[in-house]
Chains A and B, each alone.
Chain A
Amino acid sequence: MIDKITIFVPHILMALMIWALVRREDLDDDPALPNRRPSLLGRVRRTGPPADGGGSMGDLDA
């Protein structure tokens, strides 16, 4: 039982983290840095900080 808790709790949080990171633009484009060049994977890159402050899609409650 203890081993299940110690495995599942951090893994659930890590899964939430991955979910949040996949959806956040500032993972690849930092608002504090100027835009460089388009990614080879073809993602559209921002030219400035997001209007919602950079993390509304990814902000999660622990």
Chain B
Amino acid sequence: MLDLFFTAFCLAFLGAGLKRPFLFVLAYTYIDIVAPQKVSWGFLTHIPISLIAFSCALLGWIAAEDKNGVRVSPRQFVLLLLLVYCGLTTRTADFPVEAAAKWAWVWKALVFALFLPLTLRTRLRIEALTLTMVLSVGVIVIGGGIKTLGSGGGYGELKLLVNDNTGLYEGSIISTVAMCVIPLALWLANHGTIFKPDWKAKLFAAGICFSCILMPIGTQARTGLICAAVLAAMMLRSTKRRMLYIGLLCAGALVAVPLLPQSFTERMGTIKNHQADQSASTRVAVWKWTIEFAKTHPFGGGFDAYLQNDVSYDTVKADYAGDNNAALQTEHIEEKGRAYHSAYFEMLGEQGYPGLGLWLLLHLMGVFQMELISRRYRKNPPEGFAWVAPLADALQQAQVCYMVGATFVGIAFQPFCYMLVGLQCGLSAYIGRVRRAAPVPFVTRKVVEPAAA
């Protein structure tokens, strides 16, 4: 039944694309995030549904889309350079087979991010893509949120839609992505035109946001908690009633903290003392190894270069037996082939300094680009453009959340994050086209009052 439902939905989505080719782009976005071929077990698992959707989107754009005014932005050029550079490092990778396997999905994410801004020609398309991203992540987080409320979750215990610890179904990744989705959902609830921003839209957005907040609790991913704190601080900047916002945050924290599962508070406590936690200690050891590796491999070791690492460290555990009385227990750990657990070190180890530089440039440009757009439209926006600054703020917040989360999770090539990049480029290109094509709304007109008789 479920299989039939997903098959019918995908076919309907692609069928709608025959009438409006842009819907192929949304179909690919949906398929890439939800991965219905993983959720179902029949027909969809046997056909390359993702490839079909992307091919349709590309052909639809080539055959039926208006390409006038389309320009390649400097950021897309950086993305193209990163794509070419990653292709080159794959050819000389230390582990050619594993590198080729990663390259097989990385290039698709980068090419789609390059392609996306070319299709985002209208305000409605930008909104539709944002809505598709939010609802697609909603497919994962709504269930995760309900299960967290019911059971409290647990590290590695929360069963999402797919019992598959890869992609967006991995605890730390979904916790980070869930935080990125919150500002986008709030923007849709306030400025959407597909669903009117009435109480029903706001209620659903509140539900999505609540589910997103529950993801770090359910997965017990420390990364999610840090992202939540960063997002809360960033939203303070864009909110109008700051004192009310701070009051609500404090009240929410006071109510929520006593209700949190003990296993969650214990795990979050290891943020302060990483030496007691093997997972955190492994990260630090792998990061040190990567810095040393980059000294001898400044151009990177290609995808999955971490497989050659060999790290050792000591964990220190303290058993408290009363006032000022603790027994320290040191354990020596040796591990091989441990993943980077950080997008920054993932880039450094796999793509070297040039790759890390390009990746940082790509994302920092996004933060500054959104800041420029937000400042330009924040005060007295032209009529019909009041949505621009809040969207730029939301995209900037999502981007910063991603960059903070990326410190502790290897998501340098996570396709959802490149969709964010594509969305930012699309917004920027759209604003550029509007400014070039229709300068009238951007000029303050002085209305001359008729002289009194």
Tell me if chain B binds chain A.
yes
Binding site for B on A (CB under 8 A): 2-3, 5-7, 9-11, 13-18, 20-22, 24, 26-34, 36-37, 39-41, 54-55, 58-62
A33 and B438 form a contact (CB under 8 A): yes
| A60-B144 Cα distance, complex, nearest whole Å | 27
A60 and B194 form a contact (CB under 8 A): yes
17 contacts between A and B (CB under 8 A): A7-B139, A7-B161, A9-B142, A11-B139, A13-B204, A17-B135, A21-B22, A22-B23, A26-B122, A27-B128, A28-B20, A30-B122, A32-B385, A33-B122, A33-B433, A41-B64, A62-B198
CB closest chain-A residue, reference B144: A6
B146 and A5 form a contact (CB under 8 A): yes
Within 8 A of A (CB), among B180-209: 193-196, 198, 200-201, 203-204
| A20-B192 Cα distance, complex, nearest whole Å | 13
**Nearest chain A CB to B212's CB is how many angstroms away?**
13
Further 13 A-B residue pairs, CB within 8 A, beyond A17-B132, A28-B20, A62-B203: A6-B161, A7-B2, A7-B139, A7-B143, A14-B135, A17-B131, A27-B128, A28-B22, A28-B66, A34-B438, A36-B68, A58-B194, A61-B196
A15 and B12 form a contact (CB under 8 A): yes
A30 and B198 form a contact (CB under 8 A): no
A14 and B30 form a contact (CB under 8 A): yes
| A32-B434 Cα distance, complex, nearest whole Å | 7
From known contacts A27-B20, A40-B64, infer whether A5 and B438 are also in contact, taking CB-CB under 8 Å: no
CB closest chain-B residue, reference A20: B194
B161 and A36 form a contact (CB under 8 A): no
A2 and B194 form a contact (CB under 8 A): no
Q: Which residues of A contact B198 (CB under 8 A)?
A: 61-62
> B16 on the interface (CB 8 Å rule)?
yes
Q: Which residues of B contact A16 (CB under 8 A)?
A: 195
> B124 on the interface (CB 8 Å rule)?
yes
A40 and B138 form a contact (CB under 8 A): no
**Nearest chain B CB to A39's CB is how many angstroms away?**
6
**Residue among A6, A36, A39, A60 with the highest chain B CB neighbour number at 10 A:** A6
A27 and B193 form a contact (CB under 8 A): no
B interface, over-half SS = helix
A22 and B437 form a contact (CB under 8 A): no
**Nearest chain A CB to B433's CB is how many angstroms away?**
6
CB closest chain-A residue, reference B197: A62
> B297 on the interface (CB 8 Å rule)?
no
CB closest chain-B residue, reference A39: B64
**Nearest chain A CB to B61's CB is how many angstroms away?**
11
Q: Which residues of A contact B66 (CB under 8 A)?
A: 28, 36-37, 39
Within 8 A of A (CB), among B252-308: none
**Nearest chain A CB to B333's CB is how many angstroms away?**
37
CB closest chain-A residue, reference B192: A62
Within 8 A of A (CB), among B10-36: 12-13, 16, 19-23, 26, 30
A62 and B13 form a contact (CB under 8 A): no
- State which of B193, B196, B441 has its C-beta within 8 Å of the C-beta of A54: B193
CB closest chain-A residue, reference B18: A41
From known contacts A10-B139, A54-B193, infer whether A18 and B124 are also in contact, taking CB-CB under 8 Å: no
CB closest chain-A residue, reference B141: A6
CB closest chain-A residue, reference B66: A36
From known contacts A34-B438, A61-B196, infer whether A21 and B124 are also in contact, taking CB-CB under 8 Å: yes
B195 and A62 form a contact (CB under 8 A): yes
Q: Which residues of B contact A36 (CB under 8 A)?
A: 66, 68-69
B122 and A2 form a contact (CB under 8 A): no
- State which of B5, B9, B123, B139 has its C-beta within 8 Å of the C-beta of A30: B123
Q: Which residues of B contact A61 (CB under 8 A)?
A: 195-196, 198, 200-201
Q: Which residues of B contact A18 (CB under 8 A)?
A: 12-13, 16, 23, 26
Q: Which residues of B contact A9 (CB under 8 A)?
A: 138, 142
Mask: chain B, 400-439; 1 = CB below 8 Å from A; 0 = not? 0000000000000000000000000000001001100110
**Nearest chain A CB to B26's CB is how many angstroms away?**
8
| A60-B128 Cα distance, complex, nearest whole Å | 13
**Nearest chain B CB to A10's CB is how many angstroms away?**
4
The 4 A-B pairs of least Cβ separation, nearest first, read A6-B143, A30-B122, A62-B201, A10-B138
From known contacts A27-B124, A36-B69, infer whether A22 and B16 are also in contact, taking CB-CB under 8 Å: yes
CB closest chain-A residue, reference B9: A11
